[in-house]
A and B are shown apart, each in its own frame.
Chain A
């Protein structure tokens, strides 16, 4: 394990508002108005350093990795493996062999469901999830349960949108082999008590996967402190581009798990009789990877490492509180009122369907998400077909909220 190549910056950035200028995408007009981007839970914008890194990587160092003796291949390999080390250090994983690059959260979860689930689960075993999961933390488990005869069990959530921990604890039993739960809910904003969930699951003898897709842009995650067995996330929700993500997994588990996909990179020797798989993490990285994506994710991690996360959390909570108060004043119903929330505000207006809200605020230059947010069971739980969702990132400010509120007022006016 090598030390982080860059020393930690002396002083972390506490002036969160100053970071906005680093995101060129925000500096544009939409429908003749300054863009207000409040769809960060779907995908966040990239800061200048990430964009510059991508251009540099693609224009100077483009070559395949681990395959060539030539200079460019060496540079590409160094950059790719350098990014892996950055991610390792950022997550405080014990080794780079525990960091598998994937296409994103969805692929990370499918990898675990298919490889671990496929080899571990037996008829009558149980996979415990929650009612607030994103479809990508439901369907991979559903598929492997169908294949193995295991049962998928959803733990209920409360009216505020929190996991009902008592019910969760009661559902854990000796048949529970895997627990899969979101760190932060994309539809409700709830920050789940994952430390406690990991502890309970381990006590019951189950492995735990944490879906960190919505957590990474808002909080620091230490996988050793959390002690989860798997942690999955996507680059594009943490200021990197789409098409790159990570599966962190404990080494001992990765060693025992069968490969997920076959191809180049993941082998040592191949004959038609027998193939010897490559060392970790390459056993799980079949084919030419998204090299530029990984390098860009490394740059995003560097960027995040310069920020004071206490200041960031305070900034985002101020925004969330301000926005919540403002939409409530308009008579909106907020879906997801957990004690501990990240910057996600899901709401419905009585008179205006979420989809119409989305179109009207868009015409005011404000980007929000409307619909079921890939969490249909959540919509079902709260008895709404769809919600409007404003989700905040570090670059948003009170002005953005005011513009959203103007857009909502316009919607209420049209539907008066």
Chain B
């Protein structure tokens, strides 16, 4: 099935197998926990900020391939980015997952996540890490849920 191949692209499988930035940050400035109650996915996101820039970002947790890969790809991409850049990226990813907008070209590697659009029940797996990031950057909540 092509849709399945589109969901589980090589990039996704690779980041699931060997997630980047996996671990904790001692003395993190922000720690946010994200849960997806439907499937029990759980992740903790650690951020170290240097003024307006994400100096370091790591995540820990267990989840399906989509949520692991999404977390890994996200941390890879936003490490070193400014808060504004990251929040704007959140919006673009959000639009892509919702099947709207045409920001896919700007997303480069993150476009690999677009396969979930054909699998509505899996969108939450891909968006969990991003919601945690948004919450960490806006400092609103230290706990997010996809419900």
Interface residue tally for chain B (C-beta within 8 Å): 21
A36–B65 CA distance with the chains assembled, in angstroms:
24
> A386 and B40: CB pair below 8 A?
yes
Within B37-77, which residues are at the interface with A (CB < 8 Å)?
38-42, 62-66, 68
Q: In this complex, what residue of A is CB-closest to B68?
A: A353
Interface residue tally for chain A (C-beta within 8 Å): 18
Q: What would 24 A/B residue contacts be, using CB atoms closer than 8 Å?
A: A352-B65, A353-B62, A353-B63, A353-B64, A353-B65, A354-B39, A354-B64, A355-B64, A355-B125, A356-B8, A356-B64, A356-B66, A359-B4, A359-B119, A360-B4, A371-B38, A371-B40, A376-B40, A379-B40, A385-B41, A385-B62, A385-B63, A414-B4, A415-B13
> B4 and A363: CB pair below 8 A?
yes
> B41 and A355: CB pair below 8 A?
yes
A129–B104 CA distance with the chains assembled, in angstroms:
51
Decide if B121 is an interface residue (CB 8 Å cutoff): yes
What is the minimal beta-carbon distance from A322 to any residue of chain B, in angstroms?
26
What is the minimal beta-carbon distance from B118 to any residue of chain A, in angstroms?
10
A90–B50 CA distance with the chains assembled, in angstroms:
70
Within B88-120, which residues are at the interface with A (CB < 8 Å)?
119
Q: Kindly name the residue among B7, B42, B68 whose own CB sees the greatest number of chain A CB atoms within 10 A.
A: B7
Q: How many A-B residue pairs have CB under 8 A?
A: 50
Which residues of A are interface residues toward B (Cβ below 8 A)? 31, 352-356, 359-360, 363, 370-372, 376, 379, 385-386, 414-415
A372–B7 CA distance with the chains assembled, in angstroms:
23
Q: Kindly name the residue among B4, B13, B42, B62 whose own CB sees the greatest number of chain A CB atoms within 10 A.
A: B4
A376–B62 CA distance with the chains assembled, in angstroms:
15
> A415 and B65: CB pair below 8 A?
yes
> B7 and A359: CB pair below 8 A?
yes
Decide if B30 is an interface residue (CB 8 Å cutoff): no
Assuming the A-B contacts A386-B40, A414-B13, are A359 and B1 also in contact, with contact meaning beta carbons closer than 8 angstroms in the complex? no
A359–B8 CA distance with the chains assembled, in angstroms:
11
What is the minimal beta-carbon distance from A232 to any residue of chain B, in angstroms?
24
Q: Which 9 A-B pairs have the closest CB atoms?
A: A355-B64, A353-B64, A372-B40, A355-B39, A386-B40, A385-B40, A371-B39, A385-B62, A356-B65
Decide if B122 is an interface residue (CB 8 Å cutoff): yes
